[in-house]
Amino acid sequence: MNSLEQPIFLGIESSCDDLGMALVQNGEVLAESLSSSMDEHSKFGGVIPEIASRAHLEALDAVYDDLIKKTQSKFPSFSLRDVAAIGVTANPGLIGCLSVGANFAKGLSFGSDKPLYALNHVHGHILAASLSHPLPKDFLALIVSGGHSSLFIVRNFADQSTQISFEEIGSTLDDAAGEAFDKVGRLLGLKYPAGPEIDRFAQSGEVKINFPLPLTEPKFMKEHRYDFSFSGLKTAAVRELEKLSLSDDLLKSNRLKDEGITLEDFCASFAKSVASVLTLKTMWASDEFNLGTIVIGGGFSANSQLRNCLKSACEDKGKELIVPEIKYCTDNGSMIANLTEKMFQQSFPDSILDFSVRSI
Ligand code: KG4
Ligand code: ZN
């Protein structure tokens, strides 16, 4: 049962094109507010940092006021005084965007004398699934988004007496999974971000093209066993489209000439390759490090081909798969408020007020 008597945590996320703020108590979202500048970037085919940071600056007051109003509809006397600690994304992300959120959080912290945590965005994604599902003490996390494809060993989540640790055992050498989807989607004439669109088309297609499974060959096992690389796959997709003599308006014709391959088939084949690589390496790591639970997060973790592929691999191997709610896959304030609560509960030291934001 939520009440103002128990600690409440404020989280602020502004690392890319979304500005999110939320309040969390006992791993449960009390209220959340989000402003996305996505539509402003769509016409450019990608996020324009200057547009995103300006949009955040313009939306700050409205998002914060909306959050307070939503909380007061549950607890009429609620104010910032009832918050135990404030957390904000400090890295990685777009510097201008991060600065807007960080400076706002610093102002709130200074004005209210509340502890402030400068937090890692990817760690927020890792724990996002805990907003709807209990997590075990130790687990393997696969974080896939527009900027990241990484595998982490997470230890001491469900343990108040020690501190959680996040050990990255592999990451992308070039494009992230979401980025590869967005870039291939652009070639197909799809609107940015193309990830959800490719997912949708792929659901009704058949796998007819054998795309490669990058970095899975034996020669890469020593140095890059848990790393990912999707830029070669993107090039393979371009070549395939050329070979199929892609018509200028694929979306209208909905058919790749001469081969009987539809847009849906192309998307299903491409999505299958990305999902297979992510699943293969995740299962290898869960075996090698003896971790029976796999947690996924990040915008791409909403992808149905990845979810299906991981689900059946986990069923085969008797492993548990924990997925976040779709709305907590992409960037949001709740995952940062949730991480703030974890830092506070496990007695992590709070940050100095003049901390710097970082792009990596
Ligand atoms: O986590 P996120 O909101 O931002 C980053 O931290 O990057 O992830 C956004 C990314 C975009 O590349 C988007 O295309 C991708 O997640 N995405 C998807 C799906 N939903 C979002 N990719 C494939 N299938 C989806 N259903
Ligand atoms: Zn993200």
Q: What is the DSSP string of 195-229?
A: HHHHHHHHHT----S----TT-SGGGHHHHTT-B-
pLDDT, mean of each 10-residue run, the chain (360 residues) = 88 96 97 91 85 96 98 96 98 98 98 98 98 97 95 94 96 95 91 94 95 96 97 91 65 57 93 98 98 98 98 98 97 98 96 95
Closest among 18, 9, 22 to 37, alpha carbons compared:
18
Residue 166 identity (one-letter amino acid): F
Q: Check residue 37 and give its pLDDT.
A: 84
Is the separation of the CB atoms in 94 and 331 below 8 Å? no
* CA of residue 264 relative to chain centroid, distance: 25
CA atoms within 13 A on the CB side of 158: 8
Nearest CA to ligand 1 atom 22: 195
With beta carbons less than 8 A apart as the criterion, state whether 57 and 33 touch: no
Contact 140, 151 (CB under 8 A): yes
Structure tokens at 100: 């807007």
Give the ligand 1 atom nearest the CA of 93: 6
Q: Which residues contact 339 (CB under 8 A, 6 or more apart)?
A: 11, 87, 117, 119, 123, 124, 127
The residue whose CA is least distant from atom 24 of ligand 1 is 303
Ligand 1 lined by 298 (C-beta under 6 Å) = yes
Give the nearest ligand 1 atom to 121 CA. Answer: 6
Please check whether residue 42 is in contact with residue 191, taking contact to mean a CB–CB distance below 8 angstroms: yes
Q: Is 306 left (phi over 0), alpha (psi -120 to 50) or beta?
A: alpha
- Which residue minimizes the CA distance to atom 3 of ligand 1? 330
Single pTM value for the model: 0.94
Tokens describing residue 7? 């600690």
pLDDT of residue 127: 98
Q: How far is the CA of 258 from the centre of ligand 2 (A)?
A: 39
Q: Is 196 in the pocket of ligand 1 (CB under 6 A)?
A: yes
With a 6 Å cutoff on the Cβ, whether 181 touches ligand 1 is yes
Q: What is the 3-state secondary structure (H, E, C) of 288-330?
A: HCCCCEEEEECHHHHCHHHHHHHHHHHHHHCCEEECCCHHHCC
Q: Is 328 in the pocket of ligand 1 (CB under 6 A)?
A: no
CA dihedral 229, 234, 239, 242 (to 10 degrees): 180
Taking the centre of ligand 1 as the mean of its atom positions, its distance from the CA of residue 275, in whole angstroms, is 14
Tokens of 321: 């798969």
Dihedral sign of CA atoms 259, 265, 267, 271 in order: negative
Nearest ligand 1 atom to the CA of 302 is 26
- pLDDT value of residue 256: 57
Ligand 1 close to Cβ of residue 302 (< 6 A): yes
Atom of ligand 1 nearest to the CA of 305: 24
| Measured distance CA(35)–CA(219) in Å, rounded | 45
**CA-proximal residue: ligand 1, atom 13 (nearest):** 195
Task: Specify whether the CB–CB gap between 331 and 16 falls below 8 A.
Answer: yes
